[in-house]
């Protein structure tokens, strides 16, 4: 089978699509014939070598965590999914150091990390939502406790998690303010944001106060935004990559305020089922910025690094299709 891998850290050019043996599922696992996956920020950081301190393993490494596909083979002890079932899910975050990731024609996954693909989503749309959608649901509802009528600020409204949060916040009846790049303001407003502001010109004191602030940027400046919280308001930071972000959260926790929360979720079937329920009710939908065949996975990485689009960069395998992509695959 074909899989996207890299044998050294570096720019997107280090990615290669090469022949590897079909994986065999161990106990509790299934083999999924992958229809599509998507690119996350963690994929870029791992490929560039910024996460190498987290693992002692050496390349080659695969890439891709989101899975949309069809169950092909069951490992011992698996009795809650069936061969031929169309599923979606997410590999564990440690899989950024595995020899094969979801950007491959097949991958083995713990059965507990898969759920039935929601009706109405095609394979490409399903690949765009598991990680960012479940993160947005948990960040806004579980940690942020967002309610209808409250004011939500999304920093990074054009990204994967940010765009999902804008859609979900709007559907839940919140007043949504989103910060995004100038070229994406109109598209983010079309997702349901009540106000959109160029992040380069945003001044915290000029935007009022918020019940929930979701930060997906991981950039400095969080203390200034935290001061824009209303009483009992909460800030949730998604995978902060800047040291000042982590320090700000640590300060909040140590001093007992609890108003800043860090979220880096371990998505499993209950999370996927909850996410599917939001999709079925029309409260959340995938946002696909672009699709790329597996042979052009490096282009998908470049597109995410450049920015400028709204939503996810999806990598198709085989004939999997979605918005704007030719071909056909059973929905």
Strand order in the sheet with 229-238: 195-198, 175-180, 151-155, 210-215, 229-238, 260-263
Mean pLDDT to the nearest integer, 259-282: 80
What is the structure's pLDDT at 225? 83
What is the structure's pLDDT at 268? 87
Q: What would the pLDDT profile of 249-270 be if each residue is shown by its tens digit? A: 444 433 334 455 545 557 889 9
**Out of 76-85, 164-173, 273-282, 322-331, least confident range:** 322-331
**Domains of the chain, start order:** 2-127+288-316 (3.90.180.10), 131-263 (3.40.50.720)
Q: Percentage of the chain surpassing pLDDT 70?
A: 86
Mean pLDDT to the nearest integer, 271-292: 95
Q: Is the pLDDT of residue 122 over 90?
A: yes
Of 265, 235, 281, give the one whose Cα is nearest residue 134. 265
What is the structure's pLDDT at 220? 66
Of 168 and 246, more confident: 168
CA distance 255 to 274: 33
DSSP letter (8 states) at residue 6: E
What is the structure's pLDDT at 3? 98
Of 239 and 17, more confident: 17
In this structure, are strands 229-238 and 260-263 parallel, antiparallel, or unpaired? parallel
């Amino acid at each position: 089978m074909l899989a996207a891998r890299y044998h050294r850290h570096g720019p997107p050019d280090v990615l290669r699509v090469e022949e590897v043996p079909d994986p065999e599922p161990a106990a509790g696992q299934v083999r999924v014939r992958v229809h599509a996956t998507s690119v996350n920020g963690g994929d870029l950081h791992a490929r560039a070598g910024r996460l190498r301190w987290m693992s002692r393993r050496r390349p080659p490494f695969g890439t891709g965590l989101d899975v949309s596909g069809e169950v092909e083979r069951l490992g011992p002890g698996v009795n809650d999914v069936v061969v031929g079932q169309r599923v979606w899910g997410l590999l564990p975050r440690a899989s950024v150091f595995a020899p094969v990731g979801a950007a491959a024609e097949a991958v083995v996954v713990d059965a507990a990390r898969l759920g039935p693909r929601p009706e109405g989503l095609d394979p490409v749309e399903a690949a765009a939502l598991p990680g960012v959608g479940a993160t947005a649901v948990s960040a806004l509802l579980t940690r942020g406790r967002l309610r209808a009528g409250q004011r939500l600020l999304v920093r990074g409204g054009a990204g994967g998690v940010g765009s999902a949060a804008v859609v979900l916040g709007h559907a839940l009846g919140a007043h949504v303010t989103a910060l995004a790049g100038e070229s994406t303001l109109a598209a983010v407003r079309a997702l349901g944001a009540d106000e959109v502001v160029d992040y380069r010109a945003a001044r915290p004191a000029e935007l009022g106060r918020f019940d929930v602030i979701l930060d997906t940027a991981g950039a400095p400046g969080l203390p200034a935004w935290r001061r824009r919280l209303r009483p009992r308001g909460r800030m949730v930071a998604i995978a902060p990559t800047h040291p000042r972000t982590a320090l700000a959260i640590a300060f909040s926790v140590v001093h007992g305020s609890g108003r800043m929360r860090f979220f880096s979720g371990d998505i499993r079937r209950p999370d996927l089922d909850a996410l599917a329920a939001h999709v079925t009710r029309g409260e959340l939908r995938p946002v696909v910025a672009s699709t790329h065949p597996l042979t052009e996975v490096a282009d998908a990485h470049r597109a995410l690094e450049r920015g400028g689009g709204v939503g996810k960069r999806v990598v198709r395998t085989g004939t999997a299709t979605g918005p704007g992509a030719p071909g056909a695959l059973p929905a």
